[in-house]
């Protein structure tokens, strides 16, 4: 045992992950493991590969693959195989015999029908960590519904938490269920790998889009289960939380928007010169008079710039922040100080130029070091022959 951990080593170096998944949640879970050092081999159909290669975020396509595919499958190898072909199954089983982790996000029962359910895989490799993401779990009336982000958000009730009482249900405008589920799966996998190191036992890790959305609402669901009278009642315009009193909200200024979190209403009124708020000395009125308070704040804050109010409120250590637009965010020195971006490159082939994409890096650091990897997403089947030769040779008698 050395006294220091090698500076260029990563926590999951030496681990082999087979990524059978498609779209976003499963592939992103595998990418998170790759960011931590694991080798990730993506198993794809020879005809078309991962459907995510064709589902374009913002309509952006580079070198025949969508932007989403390039980002969520960076730093992987692609192995093309028909899971219904006896010849291709030989190669897949050779990979399974050596893998540490399998990730899949087919609908419940499909991997079993293909011959790669957990029991079949564990018979080949008892120490395997078999990780699955479904839409809604393997049991119950929703298990066969399409596992898609907006649908999972909707079934979870999350859209009722956004916007004001005058708005319809408002979903979160990113693939929140997919992203959160990928984090939960990667966390479960790393825990299972640790257990295997300690005990020698492999096992299963399962999560779903819906369970991830329910966990995100743990406070709300817990409160309702304890008191059924607690339900979502969104507040007036500018409020930002159905269960927090004024002044919690987002308010227009003369040139943008300002977010204000928990703070004393009368003290806030005194700081910004809004005497109307100084009468609300009883915190109970921050609930009962929420509409009046937020309307008064919105009218008053709109008279000056965001920076004007920040100068006053920051000096008093009031919890507040500007609401940045996307261009403002990526050009801000606060964003740049995080060193949050990286370039990933896929070399060109005959007739195609290389693809260079700027994206975000892994959001964790190890020993003070940010984790970046410039290897781009693979072309369909790009590494099939090399992988087949490598693993068939290793498992030969």
Q: What is the pLDDT of residues 153-206, one digit of tens each?
A: 999 999 999 999 999 999 999 999 999 999 999 999 999 999 999 999 999 999
Cα atoms in the 13 Å half-sphere on the side-chain side of 142: 15
Tokens of 321: 């922040």
Q: What is the CATH number of the domain that holds 388?
A: 3.40.50.10540
Q: According to the model, what pLDDT value does residue 6 have?
A: 75
Q: Which domain holds residue 268?
A: 257-322
- Do 348 and 311 share a domain, yes or no? no
Instruction: Say whether 224 is catalytic.
Output: no
Grouping H, G, I as helix, E, B as strand and the rest as coil, residue 159 is: helix
Residue 5, pLDDT above cutoff 80: no
Residue ranges with strand state E in 114-247: 129-134, 203-208
**Chain CA centroid to CA 301, Å:** 34
What's the predicted TM-score (pTM) here?
0.94
Say if 224 falls within a structural domain.
no
- Do 265 and 344 share a domain, yes or no? no
193 to 103, 120, 176: CA distances (angstroms): 13, 20, 26
Tokens of 307: 């920076």
Residue 367, pLDDT above cutoff 60: yes
- Do 152 and 269 share a domain, yes or no? no
Q: According to the model, what pLDDT value does residue 395 have?
A: 43
Say if 8 falls within a structural domain.
no
Residue 294, pLDDT above cutoff 70: yes
Residue 397's pLDDT band, with cuts at 50, 70 and 90, is: very low
- Do 200 and 106 share a domain, yes or no? yes
Residue 396's pLDDT band, with cuts at 50, 70 and 90, is: very low
Average pLDDT over residues 102-115: 94
- Do 186 and 302 share a domain, yes or no? no
Say if 43 falls within a structural domain.
yes
Cα atoms in the 13 Å half-sphere on the side-chain side of 336: 5
* Last residue in a domain, options 322, 348, 363: 322
Residue 58's pLDDT band, with cuts at 50, 70 and 90, is: confident
Residue 2, pLDDT above cutoff 60: no
- Do 390 and 282 share a domain, yes or no? no
User: Domain count of the chain?
Assistant: 2
Say if 2 falls within a structural domain.
no
Q: Of the listed 241, 300, 308, 383, which one is catalytic?
A: 241
- Do 318 and 190 share a domain, yes or no? no
Say if 233 falls within a structural domain.
no
| Distance between CA atoms of residues 254 and 282, nearest Å | 30
170 to 153, 154, 282, 313, 387: CA distances (angstroms): 10, 9, 32, 30, 46
Say if 200 falls within a structural domain.
yes
- Do 29 and 176 share a domain, yes or no? yes
């Amino acid at each position: 045992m050395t006294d220091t951990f090698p500076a260029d080593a990563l926590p999951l170096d030496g681990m082999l992950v087979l990524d059978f998944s498609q779209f976003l949640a499963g592939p992103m879970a595998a990418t998170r493991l790759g960011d931590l050092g694991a080798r990730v081999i993506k198993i794809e159909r020879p005809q078309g590969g991962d459907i995510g290669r064709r589902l374009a975020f913002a309509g952006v396509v580079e070198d025949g693959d969508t932007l989403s595919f390039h980002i969520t499958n960076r730093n992987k190898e692609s192995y093309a195989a028909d899971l219904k072909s006896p010849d291709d199954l030989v190669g897949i089983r050779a990979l399974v015999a050596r893998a540490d982790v399998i990730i899949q996000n087919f609908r419940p029962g499909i991997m079993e029908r293909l011959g790669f359910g957990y029991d079949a895989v564990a018979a080949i490799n008892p120490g395997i960590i078999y990780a699955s993401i479904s839409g809604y779990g393997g049991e119950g009336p929703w298990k066969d519904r399409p596992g898609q982000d907006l649908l999972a958000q909707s079934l979870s009730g999350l859209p009722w938490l956004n916007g004001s009482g005058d708005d319809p249900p408002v979903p979160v405008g990113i693939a929140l269920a997919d992203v959160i589920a990928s984090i939960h799966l990667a966390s479960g996998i790393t825990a299972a790998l640790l257990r295997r190191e300690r005990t020698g036992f492999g096992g299963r890790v399962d999560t779903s889009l819906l369970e991830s959305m329910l966990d995100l609402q743990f406070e709300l669901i817990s409160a309702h289960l304890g008191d059924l009278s607690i339900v979502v009642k969104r507040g007036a315009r500018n409020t930002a939380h159905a269960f927090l009193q004024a002044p919690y909200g987002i308010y227009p200024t003369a040139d943008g928007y300002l977010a204000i979190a928990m703070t004393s209403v009368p003290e806030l009124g005194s700081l910004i010169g809004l005497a109307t708020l100084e009468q609300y000395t009883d915190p109970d009125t921050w609930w009962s008079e929420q509409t009046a308070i937020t309307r008064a704040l919105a009218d008053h804050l709109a008279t000056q710039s965001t920076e004007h109010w920040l100068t006053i409120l920051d000096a008093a250590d009031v919890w507040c922040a500007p609401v940045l637009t996307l261009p403002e965010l990526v050009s801000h020195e606060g964003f740049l100080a995080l060193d949050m971006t990286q370039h990933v490159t896929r070399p060109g082939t005959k007739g195609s130029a290389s693809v260079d994409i700027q994206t975000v890096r892994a959001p964790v650091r190890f020993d003070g070091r940010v984790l970046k990897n410039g290897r781009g997403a693979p072309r369909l089947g790009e590494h099939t022959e090399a992988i087949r030769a490598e693993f068939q040779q290793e498992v030969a008698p």
